[in-house]
Amino acid sequence: MKEQLKKDFDNSLKNLSLSQKDIEIKKFCLDNFIDKGFPNKKEEDWKFSDLNQIIKNNIGELSFYNDQAYTNKVDTSVFVDGLEHNKIVFINGRIEKIDFEYEKKDQIEIIDQSETINEFKNSNSLSDLNNAFTNKCFKILVKKSYKLVKPLIIYHTTNSKIWSKNINLRLNFELDKDSSLRLIDLFNDTSEKNFLNIFYNFELKENAVLKNYKVDKFENKNIKYSFNNIDQDKDSISETFILSSGSNFSKNEIHCNLNGIYSSAFVNGVFSLNNNKHHEIRSIINHLTENTKSYQLIKSVLDESSKAAYQGKIFVNSDAQKTDGYQLSKAILLNKESEFNAKPELEIYADDVKCSHGSASGSLNEDSIFYLMSRGLNYQQSRELLINGFLLDVVEKITDSEIKNLIKNMIGIKE
């Protein structure tokens, strides 16, 4: 892999007009990655998902070079119907379209940051890989007091014309004071066996509201890693919803720093898995100052030999008095081959706090099935009804009614 990395890295550099200093930094990141390799289960954060092994088994050899000069045709058929929205379209890792047609042009600024290297407070080697290979990087700045009229949908599309086995993406968002953004990530993959490595950075100023919905619904053979870093100022709110279902392997990581008082973070997730899929959500909520709040709810339905893992951590700094932290994960195992692992963690250094977590996993309740069958439903219907109700609980947590309905339709959950 080392040779391939070096060769592809040199090729990538040719397409970029970088200063000598930036090249040095990129090289440094590459060397870091070569040194560490993909994370494996010896690392505490990857205990339940050995990425190195998963890539070896599913993809084999990776390649990293993307020809950014080659444009892809935007396939409009993937666009969501019935919901007016702004678009960013990624095709095979290349930004093809940025379109804020419904918004006031002077309130949103798109800044090209391709030539700056991002520092992530993430020690894992994937940020190094991302730093070394991202070609284009934009920062989307929502100006003071501007609330986007329509949601923004980011389409992540891959197809058979893909150049390399590995795609690295990066986007930065800054939400200025009193602004708000609704953001949907929609994955649409028709390519075979690629590794997507996505990094987002959000900066929320005072009283800003971010709602991020990640929808990985469509069946595909790809391996995904997605990292969200969210820094929150006073009174800001972030809401993250993850539907984890389509990919072969997917790991969503949410790092949330509650820096300002009265800021709050919500993380909700649904795993709906079958086949041999293996998905994970890792969340770290850092309560760094007083009067902050976090709420997490993760529910999983696991069929066949699928595997889900949830690692959630609530960290409370000694200054963060009056913290309210809550975390709940529930899983239903439908098949004897399926597996659910959880590591709900609390690390608390302040005494006047209210923190709790709960985790439960087991089979569908036989009594409930019996009850429904005695009311005239057959076994299959009863099962579906129970699962529907189980997952509806999380989807109902979505605070945006338009998007809630969209997601409900996508997963086929009825009220």
Partner 1 sequence: MDNRQKEINDLKDYKYGFSTDIENIQAPKGLNEDVIKFISNIKKEPAWMLEFRLKAFQRFKVLKEPDWQKPKFPKIDYQDLYYYSAPKSMKDKPKSLDELDPKLLETYKKLGIPLQEQARLNGIAVDAVFDSVSVATTFKDELTKQGIIFCPISEAIQNHPELVKKYLGSVIPTSDHFFATLNSAVFTDGSFVYIPEGVRCPMELSTYFRINASNTGQFERTLIIADKGSYVSYLEGCTAPMRDENQLHAANVELIALDDAEIKYSTVQNWYPGDKDGKGGIYNFVTKRGLCKGKNSKISWTQVETGSAITWKYPSCILKGDNSVGEFYSIAITNNHQKADTGTKMIHLGKNTRSKIISKGISAGSSDMTYRGLVDISSKAKNSTNYTQCDSLLMGNKCGAHTVPYIKNKNSESNIAHEATTSKISEDQLHYCQQRGLNPEEAVGLIVNGFCKEVLQQLPMEFAVEAQKLVGISLEGSVG
- Return residues touching partner 1 (CB under 8 A): 44, 318, 321, 331, 333-363
Which CB atom, from 225 or from 340, has the smaller least distance to partner 1?
A: 340
Question: What is the 8-class DSSP label of residue 299?
Answer: E
The amino acid at 308: A
Which CB atom, from 199 or from 340, has the smaller least distance to partner 1?
A: 340
Q: Smallest gap, in angstroms, from Cβ of residue 97 to partner 1?
A: 43
Contacts of 87 (CB under 8 A, 6+ apart): 79, 97, 98, 99, 152, 153, 154, 155
Pairing of strands 249-258, 223-232: parallel
Cα separation, 390 vs 298, in Å, equals 11
Q: Smallest gap, in angstroms, from Cβ of residue 338 to partner 1?
A: 6
The amino acid at 278: H
Which CB atom, from 119 or from 352, has the smaller least distance to partner 1?
A: 352
H helical segments located in 65-145: 125-133
Which CB atom, from 6 or from 357, has the smaller least distance to partner 1?
A: 357
Which CB atom, from 137 or from 353, has the smaller least distance to partner 1?
A: 353
Q: Smallest gap, in angstroms, from Cβ of residue 304 to partner 1?
A: 11
CB 390 within 8 A of CB 332: yes
Q: Smallest gap, in angstroms, from Cβ of residue 320 to partner 1?
A: 10
Cα separation, 117 vs 91, in Å, equals 22
CA distances from 358 to 197, 271, 342, 353, 355 (A): 30, 17, 10, 17, 11
Cα separation, 251 vs 279, in Å, equals 6
Which CB atom, from 22 or from 324, has the smaller least distance to partner 1?
A: 324
Q: Smallest gap, in angstroms, from Cβ of residue 347 to partner 1?
A: 5
Helix (H, G, I), strand (E, B) or coil at 184: strand
Q: Phi and psi at residue 7, in whole multiples of 5°?
A: -65, -50
Q: Smallest gap, in angstroms, from Cβ of residue 364 to partner 1?
A: 9
